[in-house]
Amino acid sequence: MMVVIEYLNVLSRGGWQRGLRGSCWRQYLLASFLGATPGCLGAFTVVSLYSHREVSLGALVAAMIATSGDESFVMFSMIPEKAPIVFIVLFFIALLAGYFTDAVFGEKTCNQAACHNEFDTHEEDICHCFPWGSLREQWRQGFAVRGVVGIVLLLFLFAVVTGWLGPAVWNWLRVTLVILSSVALFIVSTVPGHFLEEHLWNHVVKNHVPRVFLWTFGALLLMHILVDHLHLEVWMQENQLIVLLFACLVGLIPESGPHLLFLTLFAENAIPFSTFLASSIVQDGHGMLPLLAESRRDFLQVKAINLVVGLLAGFIGYASGW
């Protein structure tokens, strides 16, 4: 999934950025959609546009509420039936939060950009999808990286097809794994060297994969200790408001990973949907880190708004019994 999302981002070459410019609701819709896109690229795009005053504060809030960062990939793995519902609910909450944010703060960039800074583009980011004449030369230039990633994907695809990994029967999840693995294998086999080195190896393999693995392993280990050894699942169910508040406070951390604890607890039915939803609203992976470098004031403002929205949604869900 990370390889496919990275590929589509390079192919679009600013298409998402241009599409965000327009009316308020167009900004909210596209910002929420980008936020809901698995990974951090959509959130980074909205932050970049906001730093150039191309979109409003409300659009930025909408994107950060809708996003789950790298946890999105783990959600589709651990709760594949519930993950689409979570993203749909987050999408609509993000739209409403974006609208009310601009209504309260009166963000002028909703209707007109405050400045017209142009984004830098690089010719090497142009991805020629299937260059027939240079495929052999591309394989020679990036054989090491292409070979390692290609063999891993091929072995994974073979294991899923034969039933060694994944579901034992052919269902929608097994079909999805086969399709995504095949697409990723095609991408690795055909992309130019720049994409292979910078976007796939340096960004996905070296940056995202180790962090996702370590955080997932840590969350599973901690969940195992809390539930199987300390038997705290009963305490958490009896003190849902305390857990809800703690989940929202942990969501303030601008990092992919801490949210996985609550994802794991939700997957094991140790916490209700309302707590998991509140945590998902407040946390935004590491999508906000670029904004922290640009403006600490805006960073804290967005985090505060998301905290309020998360607590409000969590309390409403708790009172409703879900």
310/29 Cα distance (integer angstroms): 19
> Which tokens belong to 96?
């409403």
Helix axes 41-51, 57-66, angle to 10 degrees: 170
| Structure confidence by residue, pLDDT tens digits, 29-54 | 988 998 888 777 678 778 877 876 77
Give every residue of the chain whose pLDDT is below 70, as ranges. 1-2, 5, 9, 12-22, 41, 52, 107-143, 212, 216, 219-220, 223, 226-234, 236, 256, 293
Closest CA to 196 of 253, 260, 153: 153
Write out the E strands in 4-137: none
114/146 Cα distance (integer angstroms): 43
| Structure confidence by residue, pLDDT tens digits, 154-188 | 999 999 999 898 888 888 778 888 988 898 888 88
170/88 Cα distance (integer angstroms): 26
Secondary-structure breakdown of the chain: helix, strand, coil percentages, each rounded to the nearest 5: 75, 0, 25
Is 0.95 surpassed by the pTM of this model?
A: no
